[in-house]
Structure 1
Amino acid sequence: MMMMGNTFGSGMASVFFLWAAVQQFFPNHLKIAIKECLISSIQQFTFVQRLSDRFVTFFSPYVEIKISQYDGYQYNHAFASIETYLGEKATDKAKHLRASQVKESKDLVLKRDDTRTRDEYKGVNVWWEIETDSEGYRTYKLTFHRRSRDIVTDSYMKHIFEEGKLIDAKNKKMKLYTNNPSSSWGPNKTALWRCIDFEHPASFDTLAMDSKKKEEILNDLAAFSNGKEYYKKIGKAWKRGYLLHGPPGTGKSTMIAAMANLLNYSIYDVELTAIKDNSELRKLLIGTASKSIIVIEDIDCSLDLTGQRSIKKKTKKNERFLMSWKKDKEKDKEVKEDNKSFVTLSGLLNFIDGIWSACGQERIIVFTTNHMAKLDPALIRRGRMDMHIELSYCTFEAFKILAKNYLDLDTHPMYTKIESLLKETKIAPADVAENLMKKKSEIDADGSLNDLIDALEGKNTQKATVDESSEKHGIKRFNPFRNLF
């Protein structure tokens, strides 16, 4: 208590001494301002510290500008430009450095990792400092002399943003993102996504599909990427939806990779089952960057968002079946209750084309499914999924592309037989590619084509056997939902 009393007395004595000095040497308008500052400081418990801060601020010739990492819900791109610019500055005088190694390179890449950095622009000295608050939010603080305010605010800041964008564009690497569970987002709720470099080699040149369909997709993507003014003119958010549907192994994931490589977009792979509710889904959407592809693969398997939203009961038999089916569903729910996601169809629809979907620019949303009939019509209607792309079984034209990719063949005597077999056989492009893969140190075109012919003939034999057995025994596949709708 004695120590506290001495501190308080000393503080008060200092205040009165300062006030006497103010009364003697300062003009009236400054006296009034300083008096108000002193009174406000005295009213606070930590008045001595506040008083000193106010005096420093009042008499300091320096100006501060703060640029936060997040502006409300959205990531502040000015912050990103500053971080890129400062990170690329010369490292020869920096005391703290960050080292990273690019794949397939033996050299280390060094970047500044100082919390404080001095910069010079047109003879003006400025100081940058990175601050992190208790919740993990980061803010850049720029300090400069007030006589340089016009140069800094008008010219230097524009220089920083432009240089940062140029550096970022030069060093840009496509990324593949996936969402973290919300429990891993951290105290500031900003670690929404984790990523790796995207290095998939897929391209439309090597994509095995009908040439007319491929050209249609390429034209659509080109129109979208160059359509900023057009979308603004018609009053629509600059985004487009693609639904890729077809059997497994028909190239849906490869198509997404080819789209990303064509447009130089990063990919956000959304795992819906890791999202608790619609609010989290919205935060993830806000956390995506422009010039990106947002992907939900196998959407028919992701959540209970498929099928009709109401089931009509027609007969007592159907009612009994439905009761049994519902009980099984309830049991499954009990088992999965702890990890249940409450993302709804409505929330997903808003994610695709609601008001919040317009918070970014130049985004493509892609759904993939093996069973299009399972999806709710509201989810895939035109305007949400603008382009429906069916990726089906391998055709002869698709086979020729694969043969060129894998065997470097334009034609071969076996092509006639393969064309005939492909007309009769349903085989996925992935299965065709597997048969064409090089199995020795050198490419054996004849051996690979023979393997493919054997596989096609085997599928035909298997299909014929199944059909014959079904016809002989009068077997029809049981569909419990046949009479429900």
Structure 2
Amino acid sequence: MSQTSVRKDQKLLLLQTKKSKRNLIEILMGSIVKPMFGDNITTIGSNIAGLLFIIETLRRYFPVHLKITIQELLVNAIQRLPFFKKCADKTLAFFSPYTRIRFIEIEENKYNYAYSAIKTYLGAQVNPQVKNLKGSQGRGRESLDFKRDDDKFEDEYEGVKMWWEVLKSTDGVKMCRLTFHRSNWEVVTGSYLRYVVEEGKSIEEKKKKVKLFMNNPSSNWKMQMKNLWSSIDFEHPATFDTMAMDPMKKDEIMRDLLAFRDSEEYYKKIGKAWKRGYLLHGPPGTGKSTTIAAMANLMSYSIFDLELTSIENNWELKKLVLATTSKSIIVIEDIDCSLDLTGERGVKEDQSNAEIKKVKKKNAVTLSGLLNFIDGIWSACGQERILVFTTNHLGKLDQALIRRGRMDMHIELSYCRFEAFKILAKNYLNLDSHLLFAEIETLLEETNMTPADVAENLMVKDGESSGGDGSLKGLIRALEQMKLNQHSDEQQKEINK
């Protein structure tokens, strides 16, 4: 068939569409309130025949997405008629031969892993024919990564064509929508979707990026619907190799983490949820946040930074936990400052009932709710998760919260000693040894300086001789001054006794 003939058919189709749609609606609406005799019946039959002609022509000449859109407009117009409202499903099935499947990012408050795999698969379908691409470059990489940036995408599998759309609704719900002909149901729901999900997961593993998630304030949930978490790429460079920590303690933590990662069958055997809790405690500046970053980089787990003060109640806490992914680290930093987690035990006996209710209302996320999150029934809703709590004041926490079995490993991060200092000297000054190391070792044993303070002093350059002499001498002066201050504080305490 020539192109001239096709264009003529398309023009005829557009004219016929407008005329038939208008006439069909007018006649059908009139036929509902008037007896369907004589010319009415003839006109209805004529318009239905015209509509079938339109649909058949659409199938032959127009692009698939345009065909589907026009067909939907016609079907929606018909469905608005009172008579057809009663049989809308049958009407839709009769006029539209296509089936749609939606894959929503957060489905029933749970993260949909199929959505992530499908989105990755669609983005990876890059070839010279693609018109819209996204380019990016990761930290420390020379090459560029390209992803498909089309909202609509046609795919073919075993001779069957499917059409994908990447959508985001006005209320923030993200989804991938698949459209296909009903005659291909077995192929699409059988092998094709399984292939897409497996291929997407394989691509994710090869290009896996650690993410840092933060929970959105619950006051925004109604506007953003199911966007409970926001995320960015996690690019913190910390590793256990560069951490200023006692080597024996460092090795113990790493062995424990790696053993947990490989213990899926063991956890199934003993009947426990595949999770592990770590409590990091110590003075400010001793490396608690850095330790979390090193854990994430070692395990390639994403971090979910849970801010309790933005959660209104235990129910919202459960929703947030359900929306986290497996292979993740759920972190609550400075838990002693986030909320009063002592429950009723923290309320004095002489307080009135009104005061107790006021305390409970203020602290809507309760100790009981947090315990259930750690090792209750809800803790089993997801596997391969690590829980990390940090605190500067271990004594302030309720013992029920940090007992063994909930926080399986307690890790004390203390002041900088010589072994930790040597790691910092290597990192900052590229020094394995120096004449001033002996003096620094003595001062570190006599002084409580945090690794963060030691690192800050090593970064300072004072213009003295090269080779790190200036930085090391500056650290010695700082240690001597801190030693004097601490000795003075101890004397003052003795006087005040």
Kindly provide the amino acid, as one letter, of the partner of residue 285 in structure 1. V
Q: How far did 1:370 drift?
A: 0.7
Give the aligned partner of residue 32 of structure 1: none
CA offset digits 1:211-248 (Å, max 9, x no partner): 11111111100011111111111111111100000111
Give the aligned partner of residue 25 of structure 1: none
1:423 aligned residue (445, 458, 463): 445
The 2-side partners of 1:463 and 1:427 are apart by: 10
Residues 249 and 429 of structure 1 are in contact (CA less than 8 Å); yes or no, is this contact kept in structure 2? yes
**Alignment: residue pair count:** 432
CA 1:49–1:106 in structure 2 vs 1: closer, same or farther (change >3 Å)?
farther
State yes or no: 1:404 paired with 2:426: yes
Give the aligned partner of residue 113 of structure 1: 150
State yes or no: 1:456 paired with 2:493: no
Unaligned runs of 5+ in 2: 1-23, 47-77
Kindly provide the amino acid, as one letter, of the partner of residue 293 in structure 2. A
Q: How far did 1:303 drift?
A: 0.7
Residues 131 and 139 of structure 1 are in contact (CA less than 8 Å); yes or no, is this contact kept in structure 2? yes
SS in 1 for 2:415: coil
The 1-side partners of 2:235 and 2:106 are apart by: 29
Residues 91 and 110 of structure 1 are in contact (CA less than 8 Å); yes or no, is this contact kept in structure 2? no
State yes or no: 1:466 paired with 2:489: yes
CA 1:110–1:156 in structure 2 vs 1: closer, same or farther (change >3 Å)?
closer
CA offset digits 1:303-347 (Å, max 9, x no partner): 11159925788xxxxx9xxx9xx9xxx8xx89xx9xx45111111
Q: How far did 1:141 drift?
A: 4.0
Q: How far did 1:463 drift?
A: 2.3
Give the aligned partner of residue 302 of structure 1: 338
1:347 aligned residue (356, 366, 369): 369
SS in 2 for 1:309: helix
Q: How far did 1:7 drift?
A: 5.2
Residues 86 and 112 of structure 1 are in contact (CA less than 8 Å); yes or no, is this contact kept in structure 2? no
User: Normalised by the size of structure 1, how large is the TM-score?
Assistant: 0.79
CA 1:8–1:230 in structure 2 vs 1: closer, same or farther (change >3 Å)?
same
Kindly provide the amino acid, as one letter, of the partner of residue 72 in structure 1. E
The 1-side partners of 2:466 and 2:138 are apart by: 29
Residues 244 and 369 of structure 1 are in contact (CA less than 8 Å); yes or no, is this contact kept in structure 2? yes
The 1-side partners of 2:79 and 2:490 are apart by: 92
Give the aligned partner of residue 33 of structure 1: none
Give the aligned partner of residue 390 of structure 1: 412
Give the aligned partner of residue 381 of structure 1: 403
SS in 2 for 1:432: helix
CA 1:17–1:88 in structure 2 vs 1: closer, same or farther (change >3 Å)?
farther
- RMSD (Å), alpha carbons: 3.5
Kindly provide the amino acid, as one letter, of the partner of residue 122 in structure 2. L
The 2-side partners of 1:52 and 1:306 are apart by: 57
Give the aligned partner of residue 253 of structure 2: 217
CA offset digits 1:48-89 (Å, max 9, x no partner): 366576245147655544434443231221222222212222
Correspondences of 1:219-234 after superposition (within 5 Å):
219-234=255-270
CA 1:225–1:43 in structure 2 vs 1: closer, same or farther (change >3 Å)?
closer
The 1-side partners of 2:25 and 2:186 are apart by: 47
Unaligned runs of 5+ in 1: 22-41, 314-318, 477-485
Q: How far did 1:269 drift?
A: 1.1
Q: Percent identity?
A: 56
Residues 278 and 411 of structure 2 are in contact (CA less than 8 Å); yes or no, is this contact kept in structure 1? yes
Residues 281 and 390 of structure 2 are in contact (CA less than 8 Å); yes or no, is this contact kept in structure 1? yes
State yes or no: 1:239 paired with 2:280: no
State yes or no: 1:279 paired with 2:315: yes
The 2-side partners of 1:437 and 1:6 are apart by: 84
SS in 1 for 2:424: helix
Give the aligned partner of residue 55 of structure 2: none
SS in 2 for 1:185: helix
CA offset digits 1:376-435 (Å, max 9, x no partner): 000100111000000011111111111111111222222222222222111111111111
SS in 2 for 1:305: coil
Residues 274 and 341 of structure 1 are in contact (CA less than 8 Å); yes or no, is this contact kept in structure 2? no
2:113 aligned residue (52, 77, 81): 77
Worse-superposed segment, 366-375 or 206-215: 206-215
CA offset digits 1:147-205 (Å, max 9, x no partner): 43333232211110111112222232111111111122244631111222111111111
The 1-side partners of 2:44 and 2:468 are apart by: 96
Q: How far did 1:139 drift?
A: 4.8
Worse-superposed segment, 197-206 or 7-16: 7-16
Kindly provide the amino acid, as one letter, of the partner of residue 48 in structure 1. F
Give the aligned partner of residue 156 of structure 1: 192
Kindly provide the amino acid, as one letter, of the partner of residue 342 in structure 1. A
Worse-superposed segment, 138-147 or 458-467: 138-147
CA 1:241–1:200 in structure 2 vs 1: closer, same or farther (change >3 Å)?
same
